[in-house]
Amino acid sequence: MDSLQLKTKKLIAADTIAMAVYSVVNGLIGLFLTHVYEVRWVGLTFNQWLGIRLIFNPLKFGGAYFCGQLTNRFRKRLVGNSKSWFWKAIADSLAISAFQLPLYAVSALVMGVSLVKIAIFIGIYLVDNAIFGWTYGWILDWMRLRFAVDGTKSTKSKVESLKLKVATMDEEEVA
């Protein structure tokens, strides 16, 4: 197996696990809330609510690598070479919204939810992703670091660069 195939497999694994961890972390907060505002406030039946999740989650996890690549593109456009945490958080929130909301809308349509209700949910999820979406980016970066990939530049070369900087600093202190 060549290094490009190995890197791609590592990215797919890292991005999928990152999506799973994000879903658990955000799901613990959001599961109760989604049930409240989808079933209680907007009026979905429990079967519609459950059906949406049974359709949406396999699509979400199956496309996790695509979401990671989408995140890279949003970051490149909005953050560029800057180290701005704020713009990175915006990029991560926009990427998770751009990925998840169409999948959610299709899942809801399949379950027979009206377009008006879907529009309400999309608005609620945009707010939810604006508040919590940055955590996806943090988890994605953490998971890619664990798999020694980052989706753009070799993590190994970043580590080597950091070691070189530390060694240079140590030499300057000695001199």
Element (H, E) at 174: helix 155-174
Please give the pLDDT value at position 7.
Answer: 84
Please give the pLDDT value at position 161.
Answer: 52
Which one, of 152, 15, 148, 142, lies nearest residue 72 by Cα?
152
Whether 81 shows a pLDDT value over 90: the answer reads no
Please give the pLDDT value at position 75.
Answer: 92
φ, ψ at 129 (rounded to 5°): -70, -30
What integer best gives the mean pLDDT of the chain? Answer: 83
Measure the CA–CA gap between 19 and 25, rounded to whole angstroms.
10
Q: Residue 141 contacts by C-beta under 8 Å, 6 or more apart in sequence? A: 150
- Read off the tokens for 119: 């529009």
Q: Say how many CA atoms lie within 13 Å of 107 toward its Cβ.
A: 21
> Mean per-residue pLDDT for 128-155?
82
**Helix ranges restricted to H, 36-154:** 46-62, 64-78, 85-110, 115-132, 134-146
- Read off the tokens for 24: 């658990």
25-53 pLDDT, tens digit each: 887 776 667 777 777 778 888 899 889 98
Domain ranges of the chain: 3-174
- Read off the tokens for 67: 């979401």
Whether 155 shows a pLDDT value over 50: the answer reads no
